[in-house]
Amino acid sequence: MQVTVIGTGYVGLVTAIGLADAKHDVVCVDLNKERMEQLSNGVAPITEEGIEGALQQNQSRLTFTTEYPVSDLYLVAVGTPERADGSCDLSAVEAVVKLIHSIQPHAAVVMKSTIPPGTTEKLQMAYPSLRFAMVPEFLREGTAIRDMRNPHRVIIGTHDQQLASDLTELFKTNAPIVHVDPTTAELTKYAANSFLAVKISFINEIARLADIVGADVEDVAHGIGLDPRIGPAFLKAGAGYGGSCFPKDIAALTTLAQQHGEHLHVIEAADRTNEAQLEYVLQKIAPKRGLRVALLGLAFKPGTDDLRDAPALRLAERLTKMGVIVTGYDPAAKTLLDQKDTIEEAVTGAEIAVIMTEWDEIKHVTPRRLTDNMKTARLIDGRNCWAFVEEPGNVQYEGIGRPNKTFSNNPTS
């Protein structure tokens, strides 16, 4: 089958590779000419494990262009960022659908972008000749290729029986395929992200209490996570979440609810807790003019170079405004900070190092590499990724909700 994917960012590119993996011919369209040239030369524009190999494997089935081709099936994976009022900016999605309609008014249009509940139905009313479906994307940056090959589920939201059946074939998987209406599919995506954000904020609140009462939040998380009704995932206390999805999706969902006179109290609280969590890290740093702080890890999570809404950048901005001298290190992401090429360079002369992204390299950094280079070897582990052992070390360690024990560089999982 020939498929056209519009937007070749994290979702569009990975989806296109997945379809090419399944032997479909895929035309990828993006406004970004430079990105299309890079991709035509087999160069991945994003950092994702296994993406270069997957691109090369599928080169013969992938075409990259800035021109919209005539196609019977378009997958839409353009960005849906946050507007100033918190709502979802649908302008790219709307522009794409309008263009598709002008090219092929009877095409099937599958929304992969995250769009607020009710959007697909509105588009269907505006363009009755097009055949719409919403198939939300659940990949995680950092493991996107793996997730695409082994999804936990596929949600197909459409009223069009033929399209539902074609998409079941197109996204063939051993995972459960759930058939629903488009609005339910849209809400499923937002509910999934909101629930994960709630879990993170929940454990972050427990971590703050653990700091007060002298408990270890990592052991608490392990203890509650063994209950299958709770589960161990997303119970990692730290500096809070960020990234290209959670903040904007939570803003879009809570704003939509408010527009309907409804309050999503739990989700709104998770968002407030997340804001407070960064303040909590700031408190631990106790910023003052001239203090030298090194941020270890800048991307919003390991395995990606994505800096959208990265907590490290938000922290750097706050610190810089307070007159703190900030350096940074990240193995993949490139920022405008005073960013160094190695951990040693970043921490040289620093009084505090703060782990903001749990890259393997940062988890495994030896205390020696800090003590040999820092002015005062104080480490705030904003991802609780170092593990404790019996041997005392020379680094003054502080995690989030972990008692002040000695530590090693044995990373936690």
- The separation between CA 34 and the C-alpha centre of its own chain, rounded to angstroms, equals 24
Nearer to ligand NAD, 246 or 388 (CB): 246
Report d(CA 294, CA 355) in Å as an integer: 9
Q: Which stretch binds ligand NAD (CB under 6 A): 92-100, 153-161, 294-302, 399-407?
A: 92-100
Map the footprint of ligand NAD across residues 318-377, applying CB under 6 A. Answer: none
The residue number whose beta carbon is nearest to ligand NAD equals: 9
Q: Is 334 left (phi over 0), alpha (psi -120 to 50) or beta?
A: beta
When asked if residue 12 is in the footprint of ligand NAD (CB under 6 A), the reply is yes
Q: How far is the CB of 112 from ligand NAD (least distance, A)?
A: 6
What is the footprint of ligand NAD within residues 235-294 (CB under 6 A)?
244-245
Interface with ligand NAD, residue 139, by CB under 6 A: yes
Quote the crossing angle between the two packed helices 91-103 and 119-126, to the nearest 10°: 30
Q: Which stretch binds ligand NAD (CB under 6 A): 77-85, 319-327, 333-341, 388-396?
A: 77-85
Quick one: DSSP state of residue 61? G
Least distance to ligand NAD, CB of residue 67, Å? 10
Q: Of 48, 137, 216, 358, which lies in the binding site for ligand NAD, with binding defined by CB under 6 A?
A: 137
Tell me the closest approach of the beta carbon of residue 177 to ligand NAD, in angstroms.
18
For residue 233, with 0-12 CB atoms within 10 Å meaning exposed, 13-18 middle and 19 or more buried, which class applies?
Answer: exposed
Which of residues 116 and 287 has its CB atom nearest to ligand NAD in the complex? 116
> Please, which residue, 38 or 320, has the CB nearer to ligand NAD?
38
Candidates 71-79, 165-173, 177-185, 263-271 — which segment interacts with ligand NAD by CB under 6 A? 71-79
- DSSP letter string over 126-150? H-TTSEEEE------TTSHHHHHHS
- The total of other beta-carbon atoms located within 10 Å of residue 197's CB is 24
The CA–CA distances, whole Å, from 364 to 301, 332, 360, 388 equal 16, 17, 6, 13
CB within 8 Å of 244: residues ≥ 6 apart: 10, 141, 300, 306, 308, 309
Interface positions, 103-122, toward ligand NAD (CB under 6 A): 113-114
Output the smallest distance, CB 7 to ligand NAD, in A.
3
Least distance (Å) from ligand NAD to the CB of residue 158?
Answer: 18
The least CB distance from residue 105 to ligand NAD, in Å, is 18
d(Cα 305, Cα 359) in Å, to the nearest integer?
11
Which among 366, 362, 364 has a CA at the least distance from the CA of 294? Answer: 362
| Other Cβ atoms within 10 Å of 362 Cβ, number | 24
Q: How far apart are CA 225 and CA 227, in angstroms?
A: 5
- The least CB distance from residue 173 to ligand NAD, in Å, is 17
Burial 11-25, CB ≥16 within 10 A → b, else e: bbbbbbbbbbbbebe
Q: Which stretch binds ligand NAD (CB under 6 A): 76-84, 155-163, 207-215, 377-385?
A: 76-84
The Cα–Cα gap between 194 and 267 comes to: 6
Let me know: does 278 contact 242? Beta carbons within 8 Å. no
Interface segment toward ligand NAD; rule CB under 6 A; list 29-37, 149-157, 276-284, 362-370: 29-37
Interaction pattern, residues 31-50, with ligand NAD; x per rule: CB under 6 A: xx--x---------------
Q: State yes or no: residue 79 binds ligand NAD (CB under 6 A).
A: yes
245 annotated active-site: yes
Residues that bind ligand NAD (CB under 6 A): 6-12, 29-32, 35, 77-80, 92, 95-96, 113-114, 137, 139, 141, 244-245
Catalytically active residues, by annotation? 245
